[in-house]
Structure 1
Amino acid sequence: MFPAYKHEAFTDFTVEENRKAMEEALKQVKATFGKHYNLLVGSEQITTEEKIVSINPSNKEEVIGSVSKANQEIAEKAIETAYQAFQTWQYTDPVERANILVRAAAIVRRRKYEFSATLVAEAGKPWKEADADIAEGIDFMEYYARQMIELKQGKNVQSRPGEHNRYFYIPTGVAVTIPPWNFAFAIMVGTTVAPLVTGNTVLLKPASTTPVVAAKFVEVLQKAGIPEGVINFIPGSGAEVGDYLVDHPKTSLITFTGSRDVGTRLYSRAAKVQQNQNHLKRVIVEMGGKDTVIVDKDADIDIAVDAIVTSAFGFSGQKCSAGSRAVIHDDVYDEVLDKVVKRTNELTVGEPTTKDIYMGPVIDQAAYDKITDYIEIGKQEGRLVAGGEGDDSKGYFIKPTIIADVDVEARIMQEEIFGPVVAFAKAKDFDHALEIANNSEYGLTGAVITNNRAHINKATMEFHVGNLYFNRNCTGAIVGYQPFGGFKMSGTDSKAGGPDYLALHMQAKTVSESF
């Protein structure tokens, strides 16, 4: 029905035509700074006095835009609207639901530079990272549309003479989507369209630091033909609106990506059965990571250096998959460390207005303060060999930082920093390296750089993470290629962008007919 799924290509900004197109998009987006975006409940655009203001983290004097801020009264109205829309949306042909995603993907593809430029401004993403973020969002729409077409057939079960049996999936109801700011387009899109295409209606509460790109995407869904009430846009505070949505007896599915503390709290709240609630809620939570790059003694050193730098400092380390721990075999520790320090000191840091900036700002003042506090802790726990400085006078910039010779139980080896900081620790042998890698409460991603096949086989079974990579960095999972999700306190291992993901948003039903 649709052409076979193909991963959306990344943009090559060394091509002059592409560079100029991005520069023009940045100008066009800047011309829209300060625009206001309304809430959407059903077909009603709602303006409230209280606003959420989006600030450029590269230049905190610039206001990207504002969105109206929902309260509990509006949240209640949105829930009722979504609940009513579900009564018809759940019976809409899955092919038509999938077609909406395909049309939305086509719209975003035509406006790819605009959306990328929006992420540069609102999230402080360098061009390459912004482009990959938008490409991943397109991938989610294209992939989940095709997955829904497969899933609508159900699964084969046995029938007997005089009996016909069927096994298929039905939607769960009203879904609450609470995405993060770090992949402000990709994860926001993926966690919104997955419940939509499976027949659920959605209450989208975007991250408060990146609401503008979410507002723009809701407009795309409307242009793609989403019926009234199926998508509702209700930015608001977590304490007032987020908890209300999670607790409400008429919400059936909670999908959250963010910190461990918030994720575990939402998981607990959703488990409580409220008055007049007649179902148990489905919960998908993807939380943090404290991810390790292991370098074996026979590793290709150049690959190891590239893997560590890319894993640690891509998007200023603001990824749950970021490699914030480098565990190096003692025999090659000094060589790897020296080369990583050299490469790190060559990285460009600044406002990502050109393609040449490798690292932009961190997202806001709270993140800046938290990361710089951890750097001070790291100076006490190890040896500062690169970076360690920040400047928040104009934007929230922190130099890529390396702390060497760290004890495996040190705080900067155990706690998620979510910034451009990597800790180096020595391992006496490969078994010791695996032991260190597994000593975290998280289990999201990991990388092993080795040419030893026995060690690859051992790590495959014993490195306890949801996404394990050999001889490459530990970030950058691609939809349909590396389904993404983690173990332990990294979440429910939902494997976004994989063949099992959509079924998590549905209920299996068995129908047996005798004749």
Structure 2
Amino acid sequence: MVVEFKNEPGYDFSVQENVDMFKKALKDVEKELGQDIPLVINGEKIFKDDKIKSINPADTSQVIANASKATKQDVEDAFKAANEAYKSWKTWSANDRAELMLRVSAIIRRRKAEIAAIMVYEAGKPWDEAVGDAAEGIDFIEYYARSMMDLAQGKPVLDREGEHNKYFYKSIGTGVTIPPWNFPFAIMAGTTLAPVVAGNTVLLKPAEDTPYIAYKLMEILEEAGLPKGVVNFVPGDPKEIGDYLVDHKDTHFVTFTGSRATGTRIYERSAVVQEGQNFLKRVYR
């Protein structure tokens, strides 16, 4: 039985025990900084020579991570993986997908201090805001999982004598998630996993400034048992792969949070039907 939804609490830093706990989390995270992180395509970790350097905005001498930079060919490989994974992922029951997402949120809850500490370093967030970002990510996942369970029951449509009608939502395919740097966990996790719990597959292109925290989500998804190829991690230069992701004939939807200029550009480019595309793309902003 799924427990009632409750907002994930933060930490009360007027309590010394919480201060000490978070200081330890910061020290533990700092030991892991500066490592190379890979692309993740069909569950395979792919290290590239070309890197995106993530820097602590509060101390620009501190390298947070060196993220492998995806090329157009890497993106093409990720689409193939996502399309193949979609064939089986869409057949999972809504409850099974939701239960997996609840496992994801449970892992994040257990690692909340670590997730928040990473954002202190990578996004320059104050302690309270970093913890709030992590907690909001948990809330998004918990909410979307419960919503999917509810939607799976069907929604009533106009009945008539001797007839009872409902409508049901179906997944639509592979999409692209382009989250911002300023809520690098909550919005990134929410806009990635809302489509996933609905039965879709995703290519996640994290913000250039915050790839490390997005990679941590990939680790958590693997730990929770998400099948390979359902979420593919493709950090990269938006000038090189941004339009390619949006324009691609297999992109069924784009979830984006960012500037008005970029958002309207995505709307414009998504409206163009590409050769081999037999559907209209959707943009969620």
SS, match of residue 36 in structure 1: strand
Aligned to 2:25: 25
**Amino acid in structure 2 at the alignment position of 1:263:** G
Please say if residues 100 and 221 of structure 1, whose CA atoms lie closer than 8 Å, have aligned partners that are also in contact.
no
Alpha-carbon deviation of 1:174? 0.5
CA offsets 1:131-174 (integer angstroms, 9 cap, x no match): 10001001001111111100111211245567664411101110
Work out which of the two has the higher radius of gyration on C-alpha atoms and give 1 or 2.
Answer: 1
CA offsets 1:113-136 (integer angstroms, 9 cap, x no match): 111110000000000110100010
Aligned to 2:143: 143
Aligned to 1:430: none
CA offsets 1:283-310 (integer angstroms, 9 cap, x no match): 012xxxxxxxxxxxxxxxxxxxxxxxxx
The answer as to 2:162 corresponding to 1:173 is: no
Task: Report the count of equivalent residues.
Answer: 285
Between the aligned partners of 1:95 and 1:43, the Cα distance in structure 2 is 23
Between the aligned partners of 2:91 and 2:14, the Cα distance in structure 1 is 47
Aligned to 1:91: 91
Between the aligned partners of 1:216 and 1:182, the Cα distance in structure 2 is 16
TM-score (norm 1): 0.54
Please say if residues 41 and 232 of structure 1, whose CA atoms lie closer than 8 Å, have aligned partners that are also in contact.
yes
The answer as to 2:115 corresponding to 1:115 is: yes
Please say if residues 41 and 78 of structure 1, whose CA atoms lie closer than 8 Å, have aligned partners that are also in contact.
yes
Aligned to 1:274: 274
Between the aligned partners of 1:120 and 1:157, the Cα distance in structure 2 is 48
Between the aligned partners of 2:96 and 2:210, the Cα distance in structure 1 is 30
Between the aligned partners of 1:26 and 1:209, the Cα distance in structure 2 is 19
**Amino acid in structure 2 at the alignment position of 1:116:** A
Structure 2 gap segments, 5+ residues each: none
Structure 1 gap segments, 5+ residues each: 286-515
Could you tell me the percent identity over the aligned residues? 53
**Amino acid in structure 2 at the alignment position of 1:74:** D
Aligned to 1:130: 130
Moved over 3 A (4+): 158-166
- Which runs of structure 2 are paired with 1:351-362 in the superposition (5 Å)? none
CA offsets 1:60-118 (integer angstroms, 9 cap, x no match): 00001111100000000101110111111111111111111111111111111111110
SS, match of residue 170 in structure 1: coil
Aligned to 2:253: 253
Aligned to 1:188: 188
**Amino acid in structure 2 at the alignment position of 1:79:** F
Between the aligned partners of 1:15 and 1:126, the Cα distance in structure 2 is 17
Q: Which has the higher contact order (CA 8 A, sep 6+)?
A: 2
Aligned to 2:239: 239
Aligned to 2:262: 262
Between structures 1 and 2, the one with greater strand share: 1
CA offsets 1:212-267 (integer angstroms, 9 cap, x no match): 00000111011111111101000011121121111011110100000111111111
Between the aligned partners of 1:242 and 1:218, the Cα distance in structure 2 is 20
**Amino acid in structure 2 at the alignment position of 1:132:** G
**Amino acid in structure 2 at the alignment position of 1:112:** K
TM-score (norm 2): 0.97
Alpha-carbon deviation of 1:36? 1.3
- Which runs of structure 2 are paired with 1:28-427 in the superposition (5 Å)? 28-159=28-159, 165-285=165-285
Between the aligned partners of 2:142 and 2:165, the Cα distance in structure 1 is 31
Alpha-carbon deviation of 1:46? 0.8
Cα RMSD of the aligned pairs, angstroms, is 1.2
CA offsets 1:313-334 (integer angstroms, 9 cap, x no match): xxxxxxxxxxxxxxxxxxxxxx
Between the aligned partners of 1:87 and 1:51, the Cα distance in structure 2 is 32
